[in-house]
Amino acid sequence: MKIKLTDGVYWVGIVDWALKHFHGFELSTHRGSTYNAYVIRDRKTALVDTVWAPFADEFVENVREVIDPTKIDYVIANHAEPDHSGGLPAIMQHCPNATVVVSKKGAESIPGHYHQQWNFKTVGTGDTISLGQHTLTFFAAPMLHWPDSMFTYLAPDAILLPNDAFGQHYATAFRFNDQVNQQELFDEALKYYANILTPYSKQVIAKIDELLAMGLPVGMIAPSHGVIWRDQPLQIVHKYRPWAEQKPLPRAVILYDTMWEATRKMAEAVGEGLCNEGVDFKLFHMAVADRNDVITEIFQSKAILIGSPTLNNGLLPTISPILEDCRGLRFQNKIGAAFGSYGWNGGSVKMIEKHMQDCGVPLVAEGVAAKWQPDANALSRCRELGRTVAHAIQHS
């Protein structure tokens, strides 16, 4: 399948409706994904990015619908992660003398993945390649999403090909943003940002400001996942800018796990305290919640309240992954508090508090620990914890 963007420019990617997990099992993709690649036909022909290796043969056939793959002159590898570079060996079998264009860091990562003696050309910001009527200009975009990432800009069509940036894990029947459900589209764009790009928010702001300051015309933004932004393409850029500033909404996320319902009762009492002060919250039982959906809620919220019973002198195993996410994603502008039940031996609340402090999340209330099942006094302390956090949200 091929889809025309402009004269001589075609999408030749793959729609992966079945994908439910990405990065192994690190990221849930409830709505599938796409691996977008683009062919530009001119006096010279360029292919921008490829697809994940299991789809390499279908991808080569998509390319063949536009041009005989032996005629490809340039293969632009904007990013080495295998969802975009995995089709390189298959396509390069057809055009072994094509030039593989990589960023300075890509000159390390692409050969490191494929160990092939291809003809490499390394480019940096502002370097260009003329295809005839079309010109490709390259912009280094480190950490959007890897150190090797770069954007390719196509003139005169004014198409920005930013690889991972501005993407969504979103399989759809249609390829353009004006053709799909807008709520789903922005939900997926937000989940993608929160779960993948949050730790690189400083680089996102710098890159957006750099590109906007250049005043390049942008007729389309064609990322390597999800739909192509052709209707008001800069709208996703103007979403990314405040997302990258990480100014949270005045609400809270309560997440917990429980063995015999004691910590659940505490979590709900914390929620009552928030609610009584007019602060909205979402409550997640981590044994059954989707971790990445929880991360998206945390990303948007001011406060994180985490509860776990003490088990084997530690936390319930379902709590540890989200704590690790909080460390790795380096959320900014959060506040936190902890709670949890215990039986013979306690310690979970202190462990969660230490982890939050290590993540740079300031504690705004003393944690609540309850022995065995929480009694009226313990539940009252949980409601008070919720009220204290609510006040901290309201005065932040």
- Residue 99, helix vs strand vs coil: strand
Q: Residue 239 Cβ, how far from ligand FEO at the closest point, in Å?
A: 18
91 phi, psi to nearest 5 deg = -70, -35
Active site residue 355: no
Q: Residue 85 Cβ, how far from ligand FEO at the closest point, in Å?
A: 9
- Residue 11, helix vs strand vs coil: strand
- Residue 140, helix vs strand vs coil: strand
- Of 35, 74, 79, 169, the catalytic one is 79
**Residues contributing to the site for ligand FEO (CB under 6 A):** 79, 81, 83-84, 145-146, 164, 224-225
- Of 170, 192, 193, 240, the catalytic one is 192
What are the helix (H) ranges across the chain?
56-66, 82-85, 88-94, 106-114, 182-192, 201-214, 234-245, 262-276, 291-300, 320-329, 348-358, 376-394
Cβ closest to ligand FEO, residue 177 vs residue 224: 224
- Neighbour count for residue 62 (Cβ, 10 Å): 22
Active site residue 145: yes
How would you label 344-373 residue by residue, b for 16+ Cβ within 10 Å and e otherwise?
eebebbebbbebbeebebebbbebbbbeee
Q: Residue 98 Cβ, how far from ligand FEO at the closest point, in Å?
A: 22
- Residue 246, helix vs strand vs coil: coil
Tell me how far apart the alpha carbons of residues 188 and 28 are, in angstroms, rounded to a whole number: 11
Cβ closest to ligand FEO, residue 146 vs residue 299: 146
CA atoms 316, 317, 322, 328: torsion sign: positive
Q: Are 74 and 101 in contact (CB under 8 A)?
A: yes
Residues sharing a CB contact under 8 Å with residue 226, sequence separation 6 or more, in sequence order: 33, 34, 36, 167, 168, 169, 170, 172, 185, 188, 189, 192
Q: Residue 329 Cβ, how far from ligand FEO at the closest point, in Å?
A: 15
- Of 49, 148, 164, 257, the catalytic one is 164
Cβ closest to ligand FEO, residue 165 vs residue 252: 165
Which residue matches tokens 């993945």? Answer: 113
Active site residue 164: yes
Active site residue 225: yes
Q: Residue 80 Cβ, how far from ligand FEO at the closest point, in Å?
A: 9
- Of 84, 134, 145, 169, the catalytic one is 145
Q: Residue 307 Cβ, how far from ligand FEO at the closest point, in Å?
A: 33
Cβ closest to ligand FEO, residue 83 vs residue 268: 83
- Of 81, 157, 257, 268, the catalytic one is 81
Active site residue 58: no
Q: Are 33 and 19 in contact (CB under 8 A)?
A: yes
Cβ closest to ligand FEO, residue 79 vs residue 230: 79
Residues sharing a CB contact under 8 Å with residue 365, sequence separation 6 or more, in sequence order: 337, 385, 388, 389, 392
Active site residue 21: no
- Of 134, 169, 225, 355, the catalytic one is 225
Residue type at position 117: Q
Q: Residue 146 Cβ, how far from ligand FEO at the closest point, in Å?
A: 6
Cβ closest to ligand FEO, residue 59 vs residue 342: 59
Residue nearest to ligand FEO (CB): 81
Q: Running DSSP on this structure, what letter comes out for residue 51? A: -
Cβ closest to ligand FEO, residue 225 vs residue 381: 225
Catalytic site positions: 23, 79, 81, 83, 145, 164, 192, 225
